Chains A and B, each alone.
Chain A
């Protein structure tokens, strides 16, 4: 399935650029779907949204704000979290984040692999990360110093 990278202007700022993924046939991104699907956890969503906004405008997307080792070794997949809500992202560096989706991690679960929904979201993000990383290696996609993206005419992203 093909996908596009869409800038999330609500969060992008001088210190960091935020992008999410729009799958073929959708008219909203995985981030939009994450907010819609988890609206019952409004207080947790508020904290996550506030932090994303502050990263874009004030601090940058520093690794200390994320949980690491959420994907395959070295693929850059991390999680932004508050309480038991998880949002999986591909962190390129302090200036660029690709945001996927996520969900609620039940209290009786210690690893996301134990929850089918969360596992599916994490695996989706891993696949997206693999595709984006491949495009960067092939130089079809370039992340500039300020986090903006340059894409070639040959860019083809799919999972």
Chain B
């Protein structure tokens, strides 16, 4: 094979002009498309059958699988549900118990505080020297 190729300046310029965000989105779309295609193959489903399950046209499915079409969240959810796969691991979001202390508002001692009444009258004393804690209340907006 030869090494005397003179690369196209247009190609070089175009590659340099692709921004990171666009590249990331395209890559993610293509990777999701790969996962869906692999699942269809494993389940021996045709694109036509998949389209019918989703109530979409075959050409729409083909566009999604080509990595060119932007999936909406609902479409992804429907596809995952149809295929019985996890396209986004929401079940792994950790939760933790919140104590009463975690709900208290703590003000830094070096700052003055003000209060905007958005429903209930509530005051927070100016902090002098110490941290002061007060329970939170309904419609409270704090200006610091």
Which residues of A are in contact with B by a Cβ distance under 8 Å?
A: 4-7, 10, 22, 27-29, 31-33, 35-36, 39, 42, 45-47, 49-51, 53-55, 58-59, 62, 64-65, 82, 149, 151
Tally of contacts, chain A with chain B, CB under 8 A: 88
Binds A, one of B4-12, B79-87, B91-99, B102-110: B4-12
Q: Which A residues are CB-close (under 8 A) to B1?
A: 4-7, 149, 151
Instruction: Decide: A6 near B26, CB < 8 A? Known: A32-B7, A62-B34.
Output: no
A46 touches B18 (CB 8 A): yes
Nearest A residue to B64, CB-CB: A64
Nearest B residue to A57, CB-CB: B27
Q: Does B72 contact A (CB under 8 A)?
A: no
Distance of B106 from chain A, by nearest CB (Å): 46
Q: List 27 A-B contacts (CB under 8 A).
A: A4-B1, A6-B2, A6-B5, A10-B7, A10-B12, A10-B15, A22-B2, A22-B5, A27-B5, A27-B6, A28-B8, A36-B8, A47-B68, A49-B11, A49-B15, A50-B23, A50-B26, A51-B67, A54-B23, A54-B27, A54-B30, A62-B34, A64-B33, A64-B34, A64-B66, A65-B66, A82-B68
Query: In whole angstroms, what is the CA distance A139 to B52 when docked?
Result: 44
Q: Which A residues are CB-close (under 8 A) to B68?
A: 47, 82
Return the contact of A49 from the options B18, B30, B66 (Cβ within 8 A). B18
Q: Which A residues are CB-close (under 8 A) to B26?
A: 47, 50-51, 54
Nearest B residue to A60, CB-CB: B34
Query: In whole angstroms, what is the CA distance A52 to B41 when docked?
Result: 23
Query: In whole angstroms, what is the CA distance A53 to B12 when docked?
Result: 12
